[in-house]
Amino acid sequence: MQQTILVTGATGTVGREVVKQLSMLDGIRVRAGVHSVIKGENLRRLPDVEVVEMEFTDPDSLHAAFTHADKVFLVTPFSEGQVEMAKKLIDEAKKRGVKHIVKLSAIGAGDENAIQLCRWHRDIEQYIEQSGIPYTFLRAASFMQNFENYSSPTIKSEGKIYMPTGDGKVAYIDARDIAAVAIAVLTNDGHENKIYDLTGPEAISVSEVADTISLVTGRQVDFVDVPEEDARKSMQQQQTPDWMINSLLELYGQHRAGKSAEVNSSVEELTGHKPHTFRQFVKEYKECFV
Ligand SMILES: NC(=O)c1ccc[n+]([C@@H]2O[C@H](COP(=O)([O-])OP(=O)(O)OC[C@H]3O[C@@H](n4cnc5c(N)ncnc54)[C@H](OP(=O)(O)O)[C@@H]3O)[C@@H](O)[C@H]2O)c1
């Protein structure tokens, strides 16, 4: 029998890749939960994908999205309200008899002295554990696509990446590899009540990120190591909310201190293929950087 898998945050960096990869499989009906209907238009063209509107704070939209869903790939946005949003989703999943929740989490969520954004993820993880619904937590490292989503404007306009991260190396992961793991976990048995840390194949500094973009695109890109206070002022000037500034600076502090550099082989073990290198990522996303 066809099973229905609901993907929340289906237009986001990882969510849309999960929808795309699931839509290529037989025997699965994908329900893409989209916040912005316009952003979700592209997903309608994929085979066996049903697009439903979801507003995480609106119980009626949750009710519709979760009805007859067998499994859920749970993504909530980077937001100070994400724990409350996620709790509503988990309550609804429980009411609807969902059999497996695969949650996109963040590496470090299990650490004793976890940073704020990881503590939010751990709060959500604990709520899922207490719900009794079988779960798998995918604790991902920072996405390579962050350079597409957030650094691409200054790369294109000035040939610069501004970040307060010094020489700190990070085991960046390609969102497509996280999606591939999600597919493996959602469509095979044996991953219930497991937690996986997911990293890319190498740890690199932002200076090496800039060098790789230069090499692949043929256009000089430089890393500018910004003092933390300057980064704060710049984000304040862009009207970034305080909670976001504080949690980003905390994250960048971890990067600077080399605490996000550990590499593991989980992606290959879980999917059977090697994760994308940063160089491969830039080759395939070249147009975002020129
Ligand atoms: N970025 C990283 O490096 C990284 C690393 C590890 C873990 N994570 C975690 O991954 C998750 C996704 O982060 P991201 O930055 O990748 O986000 P993202 O791509 O922007 O995805 C968030 C999704 O949630 C949707 N959404 C936002 N508010 C919503 C609401 N009120 N109701 C329904 N849907 C809503 C967005 O739709 P609209 O755009 O239409 O609002 C979008 O599809 C976060 O929990 C983050 O902490 C991120």
Q: What is the pLDDT of residues 138-149, one digit of tens each?
A: 999 999 999 999
CA 78 to ligand 1 centroid distance, Å: 5
CA 220 to ligand 1 centroid distance, Å: 31
Ligand 1 atom closest to 107 (CA): 6
pLDDT > 90 fraction of the chain, expressed in percent and rounded: 99
CA 258 to ligand 1 centroid distance, Å: 25
Out of 3.40.50.970, 3.90.25.10, 3.40.50.620, 3.30.70.270, the CATH code matching 145-169+201-261+276-288 is 3.90.25.10
Instruction: Please name the fold of domain 3-140.
Output: Rossmann fold (3.40.50)
Local structure of 33: helix, strand or coil: strand
Ligand 1 atom closest to 120 (CA): 47
pLDDT > 70 fraction of the chain, expressed in percent and rounded: 100
Residue 264 clears pLDDT 80, i.e. is over it = yes
CA 12 to ligand 1 centroid distance, Å: 6
CB 108 within 8 A of CB 137: no
For ligand 1, atom 27, the nearest C-alpha belongs to 77
Mean of the pLDDT values across residues 114-135? 98
Mean of the pLDDT values across residues 101-118? 97
- pLDDT (tens digit per residue) in 149-207: 999 999 999 999 999 999 999 999 999 999 999 999 999 999 999 999 999 999 999 99
- pLDDT (tens digit per residue) in 13-70: 999 999 999 999 999 999 999 999 999 999 999 998 999 999 999 999 999 999 999 9
Torsion of CA 9, 14, 17, 18, to 10 degrees: -70
Residue 129 clears pLDDT 80, i.e. is over it = yes
Q: Phi-psi bin for 262: left (phi > 0), alpha (psi -120 to 50), beta? A: beta
Mean of the pLDDT values across residues 80-84? 95
For ligand 1, atom 3, the nearest C-alpha belongs to 142
- pLDDT of 206 reads 98
Average pLDDT in the chain: 97
- pLDDT of 4 reads 97
CB 121 within 8 A of CB 108: no
Residue 209 clears pLDDT 90, i.e. is over it = yes
- pLDDT of 266 reads 98
Residue 1 clears pLDDT 90, i.e. is over it = no
Q: Which residues line ligand 1 (CB under 6 A)?
A: 9, 11-15, 35-36, 39, 54-57, 75-78, 82, 104, 106, 117, 140, 142-143, 146
For ligand 1, atom 8, the nearest C-alpha belongs to 106
For ligand 1, atom 21, the nearest C-alpha belongs to 12
CA 79 to ligand 1 centroid distance, Å: 8
Tell me which DSSP letter residue 143 carries. Answer: B
Distance CA 168, CA 214 (A): 19
Which candidate, 142, 94, 154, places its Cα nearest to that of 118? 142
CA angle 167-80-11, nearest 5°?
85
For ligand 1, atom 5, the nearest C-alpha belongs to 142
| Domain range summary for the chain, segments of one domain joined by + | 3-140, 145-169+201-261+276-288
- pLDDT of 2 reads 87
Tell me which DSSP letter residue 159 carries. Answer: S
Which candidate, 2, 76, 70, 1, places its Cα nearest to that of 33? 76
CA 14 to ligand 1 centroid distance, Å: 8
Distance CA 45, CA 3 (A): 20
CA 77 to ligand 1 centroid distance, Å: 3
Question: Cα–Cα distances in Å, from 147 out to 143, 196, 281, 290?
Answer: 8, 24, 10, 13
- pLDDT of 59 reads 92
Distance CA 243, CA 79 (A): 9
Q: Is the dihedral of CA 98, 135, 197, 25 positive or negative?
A: negative
Residue 286 clears pLDDT 80, i.e. is over it = yes
Write down the pTM of the prediction: 0.98
CA 11 to ligand 1 centroid distance, Å: 9
How many residues would you count in the chain?
A: 290
